[in-house]
Structure 1
Amino acid sequence: MTPTTSPKLKILRERLSLPKPWDNVVIFLLNILIAIPIFIIAHQKLIDPEWWMESDRILLFLIILIVIQLILRLLKTVLIICIFIYLAALAWGTVFGGYGFYSVFEDYRSMVYSMADDPNPQDIIISKLLPFPNKSKIMDAVNFDNPKVRNFALMATTKHFTHVKGFKQYRRIIQCFAVFTEVRNRWNYVNDPKGKEYIAYASESLQHFSGDCDDHAILMSALVRAVGGTPRIIHTGGHLYPEMLIGKKADLENINYLIKEVLFKEESRGKEVHYHIDERGQIWLNLDYTAKYPGGPFMSEEILGALTFN
């Protein structure tokens, strides 16, 4: 006996179905939106056999397209219901505040952008090999709670990037980038007195914005901490430079997009964002005075120690 579909179920399916050829158009557009990030992930994870004219990658993309197309067609009726609920939720978020259409656009764009332009190097700092030089003096010099330090940091946050919208979860990081910008625009490198290692307090460096690498690292660390960020100073032997914590690997794609397409577009054009990964998988971004943008090239790759200010 052949099973039959009830008339009510047929009517429901007809009402939930899009008229032809719009059903195929919607499925194809969804296929493209899903296939692109999946292809980028597969392209990075799979070994490249280096076929002629990258034909292996073309074949991979076609296979992904075909598989997703078949899945979407099989789930066509359920898919229409899911799309309707999803669009209604986004419309609600757009009108009443929350996660809306603009948020989806920013998330998708930053994801694709970051996957296509994977930054490096990604050095893992597992152990601190040597004692940090002048550790106690440097920790005292990072006087982030000094009113002069705090007030300068606040001034920088009101001067730079106040126009940026849509990245509320990274407001603190954007404010730290504003502090970096203000110091970068003012900093003047001056050597220590001959034969003496002079370590200036952050509040002292604010007077003339001059000093050597350790003075800059101390000032940047104090300012970053003054606005709620988490800084650290890297010791490379003959050089000290500051870094700041931006989160886990999941946050990197948004920060990478913010730097290269929103905040430091000209300074970072055609360049990579440089960072370190510590033993807990946390991402630390380079803020050296030699860098024109957060995550600029490292002046020295060698790492002998790190001093973190929590």
Structure 2
Amino acid sequence: MIQKVKLTYDQIMSKFQVNKPWDTIIIFVLNILLTIPVFLIVHQNTIDVNWFWHIDRILIFILIVVVIQLVLRAMRKIILISIFLYLVTLFVGTVFGGYGFKSVFEDYEYMLYFMSDNPNPQDIIISKMLPFPNKSKVLDAIEYDNPKVRSFAIMATTKHFRKSKDDFREYATIIQCFAVFKEINSRWNYVSDPKNKDYIATATESLEYLSGDCDDHSILMAACVRSIGGTPRLIHTDGHIYPEILIGTKKDFEAVNYLIKQVLFVNESKDKVVNYHIDERGQIWLNLDYTAHYPGGPFMSEEILGALTLN
């Protein structure tokens, strides 16, 4: 009886066994298919040490290939089942809006572009910063729930990047905030404060003529960004204030970096670096200053003294 059960099992397993040399070819192809999503997960959750040519990422990729290859060779008798389960998993993700074939392709495309483009990180340590100047006045001036502010922001989203928002739905809010950035920065007129006085204009006041100094611009930008669901913050230096927008994780930044350079601000960012800050929680922020022609443009070189985040 025991021998009969064993024989039946062997017969079943033999149905899923692939003859040589096809088993080796299939194992290698399946290895690459499995390595890509595994590598993306590892890549997005490990610190980038910024080695030359991203050697650390290459070594990680090779290590994953070797490990998966050994596992697949040990499982060669059920190789067809492995392929079937892999494809079914991606198919289900594609049909029901989860992680599917398109997600794997896009993540890999974003990651490769990010590695070749080499954006420029500039870390800041929030815990060591000074109190934000005129904090209460600035917060009151950021009238993100004012109908005029929201109407202006909505107008900008209908004017810029509407198709891109539909094509990249996962980052629709950030794309709409970039539309606000484009509208404000393309029309902003810098006007100094009264002599010997730090004048803080409200968002609606600056909105009337799209004019003012750096803190007026920052307040208006922050108000508009927050009015449509973005998370802005203001950075204070010794002689300047500028706005930033929260992008999120490293994975999010890889996608946004691709969108800036290849879709939304192609001409403005051509041959230029996307600069960013990383806060103490590992979250990534991009510069939206009036001096920048694309999100993540060059920072002012002054020392950062404080930050005011609008959650």
Smaller-chain TM-score bracket: 0.7 to 0.9
Aligned to 1:148: 148
Q: Could you say if the C-alpha distance between residues 201 and 31 of structure 1 is closer, same or farther in structure 2, counting changes exceeding 3 Å?
A: same
Partner amino acid for 1:225? R
TM-score between both structures, scaled by the size of structure 1: 0.82
**1:283 and 2:284 aligned:** yes
Secondary structure of residue in 2 paired with 1:304: strand
State the Cα distance separating 1:175 from its structure 2 match.
Answer: 1.5
How many Å apart are 1:87 and its aligned residue? 1.3
Aligned to 2:235: 234
Question: What stretches of structure 2 of length at least 5 have no aligned partner?
Answer: none
Partner SS state of residue 242, structure 2: strand
The 3 A distance-change label for structure 1 pair 55 and 169 is: closer
The 3 A distance-change label for structure 1 pair 150 and 72 is same
Paired with 1:300 and 1:46, the residues of 2 have a C-alpha distance of 22
Name the residue aligned to 1:200. Answer: 201
Equivalences for residues 145-184 of structure 1 within 5 A: 145-164=145-164, 165=166, 167-184=168-185
* Secondary structure class of the residue paired with 2:177: helix
Task: Report if the CA contact (8 A) 2:126-2:306 is conserved.
Answer: no
For 1:54-78, what per-residue CA distance to the aligned partner results, in whole angstroms no more than 9, with x for missing partners?
9999999777655543333223344
Cα distance, 1:280 vs structure 2: 2.5
**Which aligned pairs between 1:112-127 and structure 2 lie closer than 5 A?**
112-127=112-127
Higher helix share: 2
In the alignment, which residue of structure 2 is the partner of 1:28? 28
Counterparts of 2:88 and 2:13, CA distance in 1 = 20
| Residues 266/77 of structure 1: CA separation in 2 closer, same or farther (3 Å cut) | farther
The percent of aligned pairs where both chains have the same amino acid is 62
Q: TM-score, normalised by structure 2?
A: 0.81
Give the corresponding residue for 2:10.
Answer: 10
1:152-207 CA deviation, whole Å, 9 max, x = no partner? Answer: 11111222222234543322222211211211221222222333322221112222
Counterpart check, 1:104 vs 2:97: no
Deviations 1:229-262 (A, max 9, x none): 1111100111110011122334322222332333
* SS of alignment partner, residue 229 of structure 2: coil
Aligned CA distance change for structure 1 residues 69 and 290 (closer, same or farther; 3 Å):
same
Q: Give the SS at the match of 2:245.
A: strand
Structure 1 segment 192-271 matched on structure 2, within 5 A? 192-271=193-272
User: Aligned pair in 2 of structure 1 residues 66, 277: CA closer, same or farther (>3 Å)?
Assistant: closer
Higher mean displacement: 247-256 or 154-163: 247-256
Structure 1 residues not aligned, in runs of 5+: none
Paired with 2:154 and 2:55, the residues of 1 have a C-alpha distance of: 54
The residue identity in structure 1 corresponding to 2:210 is F
Shift of 1:264: 2.4
Contact in 2 for aligned 1:241/1:288 (Cα 8 Å): yes
For the 8 Å contact 2:181–2:221, the answer to whether it is kept is yes
Q: Which moved more, 1:244-253 or 1:202-211?
A: 244-253
Check whether the contact 1:239–1:300 (CA below 8 A) recurs between aligned residues. no
The 1:290/1:14 distance shift into structure 2, 3 A limit, reads farther
- Aligned residue identity for 1:100: G
Q: Which piece of structure 1 moves more, 278-287 or 246-255? A: 246-255
Deviates more, 1:287-296 or 1:267-276: 267-276
